[in-house]
Amino acid sequence: MRFRRIFLEFTPNLIILAATDLRCLLRSTLISSRIGYQNTNVKPALIVAPHPDDETFSCAGLIRLKRAAGVPVRILVLTDGEAVGVGRCERPETVRTDRQRELLDACQRLGVKADSVRWLHLPDGKLPRSGQPGFDEAAQALLTEIKAFAPGEVYCPHWHDGHSDHIASNQLTHQALLLWSHPCGLLYYPVWMWYHASSGLRKRLDTSGAWPLDITTVLADKQRAMAAYLDAPKTSEAIHSAVAYRGLFYRFFGAVMKRIFPALADDGNLAVQVIKHAPND
């Protein structure tokens, strides 16, 4: 523990971030390389995103494949992502405007029109978990959107994702589908799981229903959608700082990582892995 503290204190932040990314890529490759690929289907899909950008960095390939086949896709964004500006002298409205514009741009590049994007405007960083105040009300709001769209399958973050809002969105989606009580596939996608999960994830993670998705044919579309977040002019300095390193990593290391970790070459970020569960599980 002492060595770790010394290492973190004196190692440049960029090196630590790069090492974390390498660990993430290696971990995801070791797990996903043993899982068989699966194709998309023609079921209308609802993508539940805790924040703007979660839908793109996790499911852009899936979204584009479905839209290219004419399958309806709706994006449900639970928060406006305003918490990225916390600690800076910025008005929340500025951050919200930037993040909403970026999301709509990214979705348009994937074939999802603005009228297929819905917002719940719940507080960023404070999504309620099961048993907490506001959970039932938030689940009801999500249920209203599910009823209006009537999806054949719903995608939400995996419960191992590590981020508080992502865990809460998993629980909210579960609760909303239980209240709906209609036949519907519930699938989980990782955003931060590869980064934040503690050691031993491979032993804990049930991959019996998991599958990576081959998005080779739409990889360029996913990269263009990601660029809506990485390359867009930033009114908000908070958002500019938040994506600066990530953009550097994707540009500089991306091609190298695809050669070192060929299992990840099908996705511009991480292999889209989802785990099927019936709503009653």
Q: How many CB atoms lie within 10 A of CB 94?
A: 17
The pLDDT score that the predictor gives to residue 173 is 95
Burial state string for 236-263 with b = 16 or more CB within 10 A and e = fewer than 16: bebbeebbeebeeebeeeeeebbeebeb
Domains of the chain: 12-277 (3.40.50.10320)
Task: Output the CA angle 276-99-59, nearest 5 degrees.
Answer: 20
Q: pTM of this prediction?
A: 0.80
Mean pLDDT per 10-residue interval, the chain, length 281 residues: 55 67 73 77 95 91 95 97 63 83 96 98 95 97 97 90 91 94 86 74 72 84 87 52 46 41 32 36 32
Q: What is the pLDDT of residue 210?
A: 77
pLDDT score of 214: 83
